[in-house]
Each structure stands twice: as C-alpha cells, then as structure tokens.
Structure 1
Amino acid sequence: MTTTSLAGRTLFISGASRGIGLAIALRAAQDGANICLMAKTGTPDPRLEGTVHTAAAAIEAAGGQALGIVGDIRDEEAVDAAVAQCAERFGGIDICVNNASAIALMGTLDLPMKRYDLMQDINTRGTYVVSRACLPHLLKGTNPHILTLSPPLSHDPKWFGNHVGYTIAKYGMSMCALGFAEEFREQGVASNALWPRTMIATAAVQNLLGGDASMARSRRPEIMADAAHAIFTAPSRELTGRFLIDDEILTERTGLTDFSRYLGEGAREEDLITDLFVEPAA
C-alpha cells in the first residue's frame, strides 16, 4: 500500500508531549490522522515546555483527532490500558511510535544504578512493552508500521567508551526494532529505527547537551517528523528492518536534497553538530 496521506490512520506515540514526538504527531495531524499520545507530563513543569494536554490541543488545532493519556511506559498495566483505550476510541491502531527515552551521558563510575535502571526501563523495556501492546492491533491495521527512535547498531568502541549505560539502552531499542521486523515480516508489519544525522533542537539539547550554543547548531524537529511521515506512507512489506537516517530516507522517499528548510534561525549547514552514533559526512 502506497499513499501520501495518513488521513484516518491511528498512531500511538510514547512521550509525545514535546520535541520530536510532538513534531511527528503534528505532521500526522496535518493529514487528519488520529493520534494517541502517552506521556508522564500531565501538569506543567517549569524545566520543560508542554504537557500531554497542551500537545493534544495542538494536534487537534493542526487538523487531527487526539487522545492524550497521562501514564508511565514503565508500567505494563498502564500501557495495556492506554493502548486499549486508543483502539476503542479510534477503532484500531495502525502505527506505533517508540519515542519516549531517557538519557544520561555518564561514565560507568559516575552513573548511579538508579539512572542506569531508568534508561533501561524507559528505553529498551519501554519500547518492548509499548510495541508488544500495540502489535495485536497492528496485525489488523492498515499498512502497519512500528517506528523506534534509536540509532543504527555499530560495534565501534567509540560509541561505548564514554557512556556505555546510555549506549546499551539505545542499542536495546534498535535491537527491538530489528527483531520485530524479522518476527512480523510475513504478517506485513514493518519495523524500522529512525535517527537524526545532526542534533535536533529539543529540550534535551537545551538542558543536557550544550544549551543555546548547541541549539544554534541543530536542525529543527520537523526534519524527523517529515522523515517519519515518509516512512509511514511507504508500503510496510517493502520498507522494514532498516536503520534509517532522517535526511537519507527523505531523499530516498521524496527526492529532497536541500535541507535548509530545517535550519533554525541563524544556523548554517556547515556548523551543524553530527549526532551521537552517526559518522560525520565524508
């Protein structure tokens, strides 16, 4: 099934109250999609912009139907209930987006086990739990896709040495993406991983990865949203089991080669910071 629109399709997205997850939701909403978002932020946090409720309002303003659910993807019962609520509200689920993630770029001796466990529980286990809950609906869905926001797998030691705990958690997400693709290939459920070539201007970059200086050398979240849209509109039996980079899949699927539209104010292509787990362009 090839289509250019997500009208009438239903997405379940974890952690979409802000940033890349919200950008993906808003792009789908422009087509008239139904979006269920599950995130922990139900009340305003002075450190972070946006809540489940403000995200749902933005989705509906953009043209979609929204169901915002406050919940923690570490809680299996809460995930199962949220997925059931989504499917009941919209008659099924066609797309599962594993966006929720925790980050702590710390060495082994500095990383408390509490932070290590948090990353494992949200990143790897959360991806597994959310996908597992959505799969019975995806198997009956229209052009079903699982999309996990995680990096390409690599054995290069440089991606492990400085933050092995975080790398394990993110690579665990990627292994889920690869495993689901193979397990459900014959049933027609696609599963892919998507990762940005450059840093993306989100709260994580602002608060944890360099502040204003890094934000000025990042692309806007809309590049990941457009890349996700290109994936969701591809035939699920043809695009699966891949580790995709945002600008590469946009070129492959849409022919786009000029990405200047995704630059922030005052940013220049030559100054962009290559993201973790991605090799700099030759």
Structure 2
Amino acid sequence: MTTLSGTTIIMSGGSRGIGLAIAVRAARDGANVALIAKTDQPDPRLAGTIHTAAAAIEAAGGHALPIVGDVRDDELLAAAVEKTAAQFGGIDVVVNNASVLNLSPTAQLEPKRYDLMQDINVRGTFMLTRAAIPHLLASPDPKVLTLSPPINLDPRWFAGHPAYTMAKYGMTLAALGFAHELGQKGVSSTCLWPATLVATDAIGNLPGGDQMVKVSRKPEIVADAAYEVLTTDGQGLNGQTLIDEDLLRARGVADFAAYSMTGKDEGLAPDIFL
C-alpha cells in the first residue's frame, strides 16, 4: 500500500501520546480508526480523552470510532472488534499501543501494579489481536503493529525494573508469535520502538519528568515510522523488531531536528532497552 485511505485500524489506547499521533497520521490518508481507551472524562494528570482523540482524527480527515473500555475486558474487546468491523466493513490493522509504565524494583512493586502491567501490556496485546483474527484474515493486506522493544538481555534492563521489562518483552514475544503463526496466513506482525525518549504523559509524570521531556522527541517520529510499517506491502516487515529512527533513515529521512522538543537533533536521551 502507498496510502491508508479506506484502511480500518483498531487500536488499544490512543487517547493521547504515541497512539494518538499514529491515529492522526493514518487519518490524514482518510483511514478509519477505532480506539479502545478508558479516558472518558478529563484527568488533570493526562492530556485529552478518547473523545478529543476522536475529534482530532476526524479533523485530520479520517473516520473515528471511540469505544470507552478496558482492554482487560474480553467481552468488551469482542464487542469492539465486531462493532468496528460492522461500521467500517472489516478490520485491516491492529495496533497494540496500550501499555502501563512502572519502573519500581521488585520489593517496592505492589502485586496489583504487577498484575496491571501484565494484564494490559501482554494480555491486552494478545487478546485484542486474537479477537481481530477472523477479520484480519479477510483483509487483503492485514497488519499487526505492536509498540514494544527488541529483546535485549543486557542485565541492566532486568536489574532496575524486572517487572516492567517482563511486561514489555512479553508484548514483543506475543508479536513475534503472531508473525510466525499468523504469518503463514498472510498477516504481517511487526514491533516498533523509539530510539530516544518520547515526550508523553507516561514520561512527564515520572519523577524528574520535566527534564526528561526536554531531551525527548515528539510522538510524531513514532507515528511516521508506524506509517512506513503500515504502508509496506505484504510481509516485507513481518517478524521484525524495528527502531523508529533506523526505519525512517532507511526510507530516506535525513533531518530529525523537527522531531526534537528543542528543535535540535542533539543531546537526546536514548530510550530504555536499547
């Protein structure tokens, strides 16, 4: 594909940040985007709701279907998939974007916080994709895009926050599983991860978040890389764990200054797991 016009995407999360940037980029082509997210009402700690996200998608030229709900709810996922397919005539793309960030060491991590990360990051990725399989198999060029990192077994990623590392690597393992299992049936499954920190509420709300945002890139860099993945024909990127900057450079992008929060492509903080 060279355009996402007429493509139907179902995404977990997407009220803000990277997910919203991906949705708006797709909407500029005229894509249909269904969002499954919990933020129904404004939260002082978070920018935007699922409804403001839907408005941004429509304003960009796409068609939005906001679905208020939790990816931990299997019945809701099944209903969301069927509602999306009924409204737009099918589903072509699943974007596994919803994720919980908690960098607590083991002794300080409450069991409910551990469960939340596993349930949203890993189980949510698996179950949303699972629910969409019948519609993906009916698509002429189905894609699954998961926002998760390459598997890096350097001990430093386990020493500080093993639970978060397990949750993000679990998403990647699920995506690689889809690549090998569903790839035989024509579905292309790819992981995408940023080269640097990205200015999102998840980063900004951490201790020292203001400073971290200053050395971050904008979510649009991940959105542009996601667009490259979703417009790559067939299974050319199936089973790959890609870094946004590397992919964009391979596709001819040379100037990254516009993606920086400061307008300068220097002094940026690398993202974790790299």
TM-score, normalization by structure 1: 0.95
SS in 2 for 1:4: coil
Q: Which residue of 2 aligns with 1:65?
A: 63
Runs of 4+ aligned residues of structure 1 deviating over 3 Å after TM superposition are none
Q: Which residue of 2 aligns with 1:147?
A: 145
Distance in 2 (CA, whole Å) between partners of 1:258 and 1:209 is 31
Shift of 1:209: 5.6
Q: Which residue of 2 aligns with 1:274?
A: 270
Distance in 1 (CA, whole Å) between partners of 2:169 and 2:115 is 15
* Alpha-carbon spacing, 1:270–1:4, altered in 2? closer, same or farther (3 Å): same
Shift of 1:142: 2.8
1:98-247 matched pairs, under 5 angstroms: 98-208=96-206, 210-247=208-245
Q: Partner amino acid for 1:272?
A: L
* Alpha-carbon spacing, 1:244–1:209, altered in 2? closer, same or farther (3 Å): farther
* Alpha-carbon spacing, 1:267–1:214, altered in 2? closer, same or farther (3 Å): farther
Unaligned stretches of 5+ residues in structure 1: none
Q: What is the aligned residue count?
A: 274
SS in 2 for 1:49: coil
* Alpha-carbon spacing, 1:273–1:160, altered in 2? closer, same or farther (3 Å): same
SS in 2 for 1:97: strand
Distance in 2 (CA, whole Å) between partners of 1:168 and 1:238 is 28
Instruction: Return the match for 1:89 from 79, 87, 90.
Output: 87
Contact 1:216-1:267 within 8 A present in 2 as well: no
Instruction: Return the match for 1:261 from 251, 258, 261.
Output: 258
Q: Partner amino acid for 2:146?
A: T
Shift of 1:154: 1.7
List per-residue Cα deviations over 1:45-68 (Å, max 9, x = no partner).
111111111100110000000000
List per-residue Cα deviations over 1:57-94 (Å, max 9, x = no partner).
11000000000000000011111111110000000000
Distance in 1 (CA, whole Å) between partners of 2:35 and 2:94 is 10
Distance in 2 (CA, whole Å) between partners of 1:247 and 1:205 is 19
CA RMSD after TM alignment: 1.0
SS in 2 for 1:147: strand
TM-score, normalization by structure 2: 0.98
